[in-house]
Amino acid sequence: MSVEAGTTQEASIEAKETGGIAALGINGGMFFAQLLNFIVVLLIFWKWVYRPIVTMLDRRTETIEKSLKQAKEIDERLLKLDTERTTVLAQAQQEAVELLSRTHAEAESQHQATMAKAKEEVRRLITEGKAQLIKEKEFMIKETRDEIAALAIEVAKKVVQENIDKTRSQVLAKETIETMLDV
């Protein structure tokens, strides 16, 4: 037999003697030692590596959640500020329209008041002018009456002085009146 076949037979005999794990080529004592080492390394990893990493990741998750919450609050504030800005602009436009309307109404009112005052001044001037014209008319009538009276006296003097007849006195009166009116 060959050397290889002998080693295989020896391995199979040894596997039968030590059990099923040896048949797979695994040494039981070494397996348990490695398993114990793995558990120790796993515990060390769990205590000094895994937990700090998980803690750090939890903190990072909390920080991200806070940041997301703050971003959401900022978005809400921005939306609220945009709404308030729109409201304020609408109110400002409405106030501007009202102010413009009031200013226009006040200007119209002042215009009406000025026109009424001007009309009143014109009426006053017309009334004063009429009163002055009436006074001048009365003055002219009085002067005319005085002149007519003076003429009548002149005519009477001439009539008396000349002692003339009735037709002659009428002619003299007419001539005197015409001369006075022409002047």
**Residue 165 three-state SS:** coil
Q: Which has the closest alpha carbon to 103: 95, 93, 113, 92?
A: 95
**pLDDT on residue 49:** 86
Helix %, strand %, coil % for the chain, to 5? 95, 0, 5
Rg (CA), the chain: 69
Q: What is the spatial distance between Cα 89 and Cα 81, in angstroms, rounded to a whole number? A: 12
Q: What is the spatial distance between Cα 172 and Cα 164, in angstroms, rounded to a whole number? A: 10
Exposure string of 38-69, with b = 16+ CB inside 10 Å and e = fewer, is eeeeeeeeeeeeeeeeeeeeeeeeeeeeeeee
Cα distances from 133 to residues 3, 122, 138, 153, 156, in angstroms, run 164, 16, 8, 29, 34
In which domain, by residue range, is 44 found? 3-182
**pLDDT on residue 79:** 93
> Is 172 within 8 Å of 158 (Cβ atoms)?
yes
Residue type (1 letter), 94: Q
Q: Per residue of the chain (183 residues), give pLDDT as tens.
A: 455 555 666 656 655 555 566 667 777 788 899 999 999 999 998 888 888 889 999 999 999 999 999 999 999 999 999 999 999 999 999 999 999 999 999 999 999 999 999 999 999 999 999 999 999 988 888 888 778 777 777 777 776 666 556 677 777 777 777 777 665
Q: Which residues have a Cβ under 8 Å from the Cβ of 164 and sit 6 or more positions away? A: 172
Tally the domains of the chain.
1
